[in-house]
Amino acid sequence: MSEFTSAQEVNPLATDPRAARAGGSIFRAQCATCHGADAKGIETIEAPDLTLMFTRSESTDASVFQVIREGVPGSIMPPHAFPDTEVWMLVSYLRSVAIAGTSAQIDGDPARGTTLFNLNCLRCHRVDNRGGSLGPNLSTITNRRSQDALTNSIRNPSAEIARRYKPVTLVTADNGRIRGAVKSEDAFSIQIMDSDQVLRGFRKSSLQEVIHEDISLMPSFYESALSSDDINDILRFLQSAR
Ligand code: HEC
Ligand code: HEC
């Protein structure tokens, strides 16, 4: 994992309305060839839709700054040596085109939602400083994603797996199998959080195999496990949790 070196965690231009416009100009000149003029991505290039990025709980202004600055190693996403101010302008622009979350109050029972959450979700997800960390922190997720999108994530988690939570199975020299989420990886090493939620690092030369998977570590919650009302209660709880 690359270290985030800038001391700045918050976009210093966040309240400047001109920043997003200036960032839009830089974007069209430098990024649109891959990400599209509207930032919605170009499928043939496999450059992602950047309007959906802030809907994921691990995307912050600081993490997006870092991706723009450092690029994504192992992909065609290049690093950019722009001055900090211009990178923040790009972050402002990407915020301005981001799909919004759930603003209306979700119709559900937060007390019942708490119980259902504790039973089904808490071991993997943190909310208000309690819970596990195999999955992302859900404390502010309803700010960033719509009720429908969240329901889809719960019904079918494998449809779109969050970056930094990609499932992997490692086969060790003695044929042991370790399943977990990839936290970082390069040609020689891989760091994962295993299913017991322990962070572990491996040299690839010590492993027989690294198997990247497309089935999420999160189980699918079908209608038989959680009804639509159950999900709305959980989402209402999450909405009230901050
Ligand atoms: C040559 C094509 C190319 C150019 C130019 C490019 N990108 Fe990317 N970008 C990509 C690809 C491909 C990815 C996906 C990398 C991956 O995760 O495998 C990506 C990923 C990203 C991500 C992370 C998205 C996520 O879901 O986390 C951000 C943010 C981003 N690009 C912003 C920019 C900005 C801003 C610019 C211009 C300054 C830019 N990119 C220029 C191809 C490009
Ligand atoms: C065994 C661990 C586990 C359990 C149990 C679990 N999750 Fe997850 N969850 C994950 C992981 C890992 C991810 C990230 C990978 C992905 O996107 O599929 C995730 C992703 C999510 C996301 C998408 C987050 C984002 O940033 O977009 C939501 C929403 C979510 N879980 C809600 C729930 C709810 C609600 C429950 C209980 C009904 C639950 N999860 C139970 C592990 C779990």
Q: How do residues 147-199 score in pLDDT, each as one tens digit?
A: 888 999 999 999 988 878 999 999 999 999 999 999 999 999 999 999 999 99
In this prediction, what percent of the chain has a pLDDT beyond 70? 93
| Cβ–ligand 1 contact at 47 (below 6 Å) | yes
Give me the amino acid identity at 62: A
Residue whose CB lies within 8 A of the most ligand 1 atoms, among 4, 11, 25, 34, for a mutation test: 34
In this predicted model, what pLDDT tens digit does every residue of 43-90 receive, in sequence order?
A: 677 788 898 788 666 789 999 999 999 999 888 999 999 999 999 999
In this predicted model, what pLDDT tens digit does every residue of 83-122 receive, in sequence order?
A: 999 999 999 999 988 876 766 789 999 999 999 999 999 9
Burial status of residue 93 (CB atoms within 10 A of its CB: 0-12, 13-18, 19 or more): buried
Conformation bin of residue 10: beta by default, left when phi > 0, alpha when psi is -120 to 50:
beta
Residue 89 structure tokens: 């302008």
Q: How far apart are CA 58 and CA 131, in angstroms?
A: 16
How many angstroms is it from 96 CA to the middle of ligand 2? 26
Burial readout 99-116 (b: 16 or more C-beta within 10 A, e: otherwise):
eebbeeebebbbebbbeb
Per-residue pLDDT at 5 exceeds 70 = no
Per-residue pLDDT at 132 exceeds 90 = yes
How many angstroms is it from 41 CA to the middle of ligand 1? 9
The reported pLDDT for the residue numbered 242 is 59
Looking up tokens 């309305």 gives 17
The reported pLDDT for the residue numbered 44 is 74
The reported pLDDT for the residue numbered 7 is 53
Q: How many CA atoms lie within 13 A of 1 on its CB side?
A: 15
Q: How far apart are CA 141 and CA 135, in angstroms?
A: 12
Chain centroid to CA 22: 26
The reported pLDDT for the residue numbered 38 is 87
In this predicted model, what pLDDT tens digit does every residue of 22-39 receive, in sequence order?
A: 999 999 999 999 999 889
Residue closest via CA to ligand 1's atom 14 equals 47
Looking up tokens 């079908």 gives 222
Residue closest via CA to ligand 2's atom 30 equals 154
Cβ pair 229, 108 in contact under 8 A: yes
In this predicted model, what pLDDT tens digit does every residue of 193-221 receive, in sequence order?
A: 999 999 999 999 999 999 999 999 999 99
| Ligand found nearest the CA of 134 | 2
| Cβ–ligand 1 contact at 58 (below 6 Å) | no
| Cβ–ligand 1 contact at 52 (below 6 Å) | no
Looking up tokens 């889809």 gives 152
| Cβ–ligand 1 contact at 39 (below 6 Å) | no
Residue closest via CA to ligand 2's atom 40 equals 121
Residue 164 structure tokens: 């930094």
